[in-house]
Structure formats: C-alpha cells, structure tokens
Structure 1
Amino acid sequence: MSLIHRAGVLGFAASCLFLSTAASAKLGGSVSSVTADRGRMAVSMNSVAMGRYMRHDLKRPNGGSVREFTNAAGTVFAVTWSGPGKPDLRTLLGPYFSTFQANSVATARQMHSLRRPPQVAQRDLQIQAGGHMGWFHGVAYIPSLAPAGFSIDDLAAQP
C-alpha cells in the first residue's frame, strides 16, 4: 500500500470516527457533508472498511436500517435502506431526489392504475425502491463514483 493511499485511508477512517454521531450523508455528497442531526433522525452508526470503500450502517429507532457506501475519496456512491417506514429519502438522495420524484410521477401517469415501484434507470443514476405497508426497501447508486470493479450486485450481497 503506498504512503499516499495509506494516509488517505487513515484520514478517511479518522473522519468516520469523528462523524460517528452523524445522521446521514447525501448520495453524491462527501462524507464531510454528513449532518449532525442525530436528535431528529435518532440513529446509531457503525462504519466498516470494505476494501476499496467504507460501509456506514445506520440503525433507525424503528428497527430499519440505512447503509451508505463511500469511496476512497469520501464520496457517497450508494445508499440502501430497508425496514418499517421509509427513511427521509429527500435527505438520503440529496440532489437526486428531484429526479427520483419526477420519474415516479411520470411512471404513475404512464401506468395509470397499475402499481409499479418507483425506479430511475439512467446511465449514471440507478434507483430502485419497493415494499409494502410496513416494510420498505431500496437502493440508489451512482456507477461513476463507485470504486473500480464495484457493481450494484455487490450491494445486494452485503451482510
């Protein structure tokens, strides 16, 4: 491991420790943009090094979970969620929320009365959400920000 890479990893790990009380990073944002709004979100957080990226596990008071994945540069490249009740998607998706919302409205208009989970399938933005009353899940992913060799299938394989 090169000295520059090692210094970056150590600095990144230190920033994760500093932000351990944080609530949520925004998709595409930096780990330093994590807001310290723990009281509002009431979450606990644990960060785990996963090779070329970090996984931040947030436990919600209702038993749900949110996972945020940051690359070596500290940029959030993916977010997953599951559990009872939806997390604050406006916060989790950050600037991508409007794309998600607009796509959901367009899909609803096209499908009329048919129910279809909201999805965004763009070249550099993938969002899939689903669930039913009492249990929701989803994944949002920006391929260009992910580490080399990472695929959306790696998110589904997370323990």
Structure 2
Amino acid sequence: MKKKRPLVLSVFGILLCLFFLLPKNVRAGLDGDRTLIAQDAEKLGLVAGPVTNGKGYSTVTLTLPATSPLSMNGRKTLTVREFFDTGGTIFAVAWEGSLPPDLSVLLGDKMTRVPKKNLSPYRHQLFVQTPDLKLRVIGTARFRAGNAWIPTRLPPGFRTDQIRVQAP
C-alpha cells in the first residue's frame, strides 16, 4: 500500500503540471480567435462565407444551408455575422433567423456574464450590460435577432449600429 502512494502522487503531480502548461482550449466566439470561426460554424450547422473588410475590422457571415436537416427543407433560417479586428480577435457578433443560435458558441467565455435566469427560450427580449459585454436579443417564437459585443474591443471609429447581420 505504501509503495502505491508515491506513484499516485507522481501521476497526480504530472497531471497537475500538464493542466497548467498545456494551452487552454482556444475557441471562437466573442474575444476568441478568428481562425476558429469555421469550427464554431460547424458546431452551429452553418457554412462560412467570404471575409469582407471594413475600416479597421473584417466580417464573415455564416449561413444555414437550405440542404441542412436543421433548415427543415428551407423553412428554418439562421444567419450569423462575426466581426473581428486586424489582430484576428472577435469583438462582436450578430444573428437573425427562425432558429435561435447556441449562445454558448457565439459568446464563448463571455457566456458566464449572462445570468442563467435570463436564458429562457420564452423570453422575447433580453438585455445584458456589463463592462465587458453588451448583449441584446429580441424576437418572437418564430424569429429572433440579436447582437453582442465587447465595448473595450471596438476598433476606433466603429459604431455599435454596425453590429447587425446585413452589411451597413
């Protein structure tokens, strides 16, 4: 019994070191890396379109293909637009459609800023304002739209009314 204890402690020590030394799970979503947008599009069942460049930022639009089983033969829609700065950090997202997006994918680690009581699918409006997250969701049972952004990450001259699915 006493011989097994040092082995268990050694294994535990190695696992603890690996936890702190290995890179964290990098993902897209707000404050995430734009190179991982394709992975999040796949999680949402969407297809990424071309990148569009603006002044100090770029966007990519993700759409639900009509051939997707989620679209129910084209009757359901979802379009997401992600905004990222010149360094590749996502600072804003917008969405609209008859299917609600998985906010945990779009908001990434910022999802922890949204109070759980506000995530009811029956809510028609949701507004969250914290120093590092602004979130707005509006809609009905058949259509939802929303946007979220990190106020401190907005590029110079960027206006929050640009955070929408359709290009300004």
| TM-score of the superposed pair, with normalisation by structure 1 | 0.70
RMSD: 2.4
Matches within 5 A, 1:4-153: 25-34=28-37, 36=39, 40-46=43-49, 47-61=51-65, 62=71, 63-102=77-116, 104=118, 117-153=125-161
Give how far 1:52 is off.
1.0
| CA distances 1:59-109 after superposition (whole Å, capped 9, x unpaired) | 11333200000001100000000001101111100111121234727xx9x
Q: 1:48 to 1:158 in 2, by over 3 A?
A: same
Whole-Å Cα distance in 2 between the matches of residues 99 and 122 of structure 1? Answer: 8
- Structure 1: give runs of 5+ residues left out of the alignment: 1-23, 109-114
Whole-Å Cα distance in 1 between the matches of residues 110 and 162 of structure 2? Answer: 21
Q: Please give the secondary structure, in 2, of the residue aligned with 1:34.
A: helix
Whole-Å Cα distance in 2 between the matches of residues 96 and 87 of structure 1? Answer: 15
| CA distances 1:19-41 after superposition (whole Å, capped 9, x unpaired) | xxxxx831111112335365543
Q: 1:88 to 1:150 in 2, by over 3 A?
A: same
Q: 1:41 to 1:150 in 2, by over 3 A?
A: same
Q: Which moved more, 1:96-105 or 1:116-125?
A: 96-105
Bigger Rg, structure 1 or 2: 2
Which segments of structure 1 move beyond 4 Å, counting only runs of 4 or more? 37-40
Give how far 1:158 is off.
3.0
Whole-Å Cα distance in 2 between the matches of residues 83 and 56 of structure 1? Answer: 17
Q: 1:42 to 1:71 in 2, by over 3 A?
A: same
For this pair of structures, how many residues does the alignment match? 128
| TM-score of the superposed pair, with normalisation by structure 2 | 0.66
Q: 1:116 to 1:59 in 2, by over 3 A?
A: closer
- Structure 2: give runs of 5+ residues left out of the alignment: 1-26, 66-70, 72-76
Give how far 1:55 is off.
0.8
Q: 1:40 to 1:143 in 2, by over 3 A?
A: closer
Whole-Å Cα distance in 2 between the matches of residues 37 and 143 of structure 1? Answer: 22
User: Identical aligned pairs, as a percentage?
Assistant: 30
Q: Is the 8 A contact 1:70 1:76 kept in 2?
A: yes
